[in-house]
Amino acid sequence: MRLQGKVAVVTGARQGIGQAAALALAGEGADLVLASRNIGTGDAVVRDIQQMGRRVLVRRMDVGRRQEVQQLFADTLETFGRVDVLFNNAGVSLPAMLWKMTEEQWDEVIRVNLTGTFFCLQAAAKPMMEQKSGSIINVTSSAGLLGTIGQVNYTAAKGGVHALTKSAAKELARYNVRVNTIAPMAETEMTRTIATDPRFRDKYLERIPLGRFARPEEIGPAVVFLAAGDSAYITGQTICVDGGMVML
């Protein structure tokens, strides 16, 4: 197992890509810290990981609140004594056309997706720098890389994540801490409308060369790859796990 003895923090672990990635990381031997606003110890993802024999810490928190992020990492270090992997995954989308977007929609998406990513990155980096090892995996999007219609808030946030990943990778490389990004495309709560509503579905499928949306479980292996030693010489990169939608 590629992550035996490692400790991985997954934000947005309650459902979707975060849940699938947490299961994939646990499947490779990692102990898990599962965080989101509404996650609970009774959730299936917690039970499934415990049944694999891994240790699990569950924390309800909001990645856009700095004190809650700091508490999450303090609890992680108190429980496990280290943090090896951060899957910096929590995100929200509040779509609206540019001319209709409210300040609240703009602020909330930037707060969670961009500021939340920064808070978690910063909090994870400190113990990783002391350990002289660690892997941080951020989440961007085709919207952040190429632009899209109806989501300037999300595009700005995910474009920011793509950019900050490269600066963080440069700053942290000297401590043997790697920072990469994935750009996924999978059918989840977030993409339910575009994946099911015929008005959007067909347009999206035309843009995906492999011709289908992924299941969230198909994103997990890329997260494991970036978390594990297999990718020891890779930092500052974006891996698109999106059926070929974005070709960098």
Ligand X SMILES: NC(=O)c1ccc[n+]([C@@H]2O[C@H](COP(=O)([O-])OP(=O)(O)OC[C@H]3O[C@@H](n4cnc5c(N)ncnc54)[C@H](OP(=O)(O)O)[C@@H]3O)[C@@H](O)[C@H]2O)c1
**Rounded to 5°, angle at Cα 154 from 149 and 157:** 135
Residue 228 binds to ligand X (criterion: CB under 6 A): no
Distances (CA, A) of 210 to 60, 207, 225, 248: 36, 9, 21, 16
**Long-range pairs, 1-5, Cβ under 8 A, ≥24:** 1/27, 1/28, 1/29, 2/28, 2/29, 2/224, 2/228, 2/229, 2/230, 3/28, 3/29, 3/30, 3/84, 3/85, 3/224, 3/227, 3/228, 4/28, 4/29, 4/30, 5/29
Applying CB under 6 A, which part among 2-10, 32-40, 70-78, 171-179 lies near ligand X? 32-40
Applying CB under 6 A, which part among 45-53, 79-87, 178-186, 233-241 lies near ligand X? 178-186
The smaller minimum CB distance to ligand X, of residues 81 and 198, is found at 198
Residue 138 binds to ligand X (criterion: CB under 6 A): no
Residue 17 binds to ligand X (criterion: CB under 6 A): yes
The smaller minimum CB distance to ligand X, of residues 1 and 149, is found at 149
The smaller minimum CB distance to ligand X, of residues 66 and 175, is found at 66
Which is the catalytic residue, given 154, 175, 204, 233? 154
Active site annotation includes 154? yes
Q: Which of 3, 8, 9, 36 binds ligand X (CB under 6 A)?
A: 36
- 220: which residues sit within 8 A by CB, 6+ positions away? 20, 21, 23, 24, 25
Residue 39 binds to ligand X (criterion: CB under 6 A): yes
- Sketch the per residue contact string, 78 through 97, with ligand X: x for CB under 6 A, - otherwise: -----------xxxx-----
Residues that bind ligand X (CB under 6 A): 11-12, 14-18, 36-39, 62-64, 89-92, 112, 116, 139, 141, 184-186, 188-191
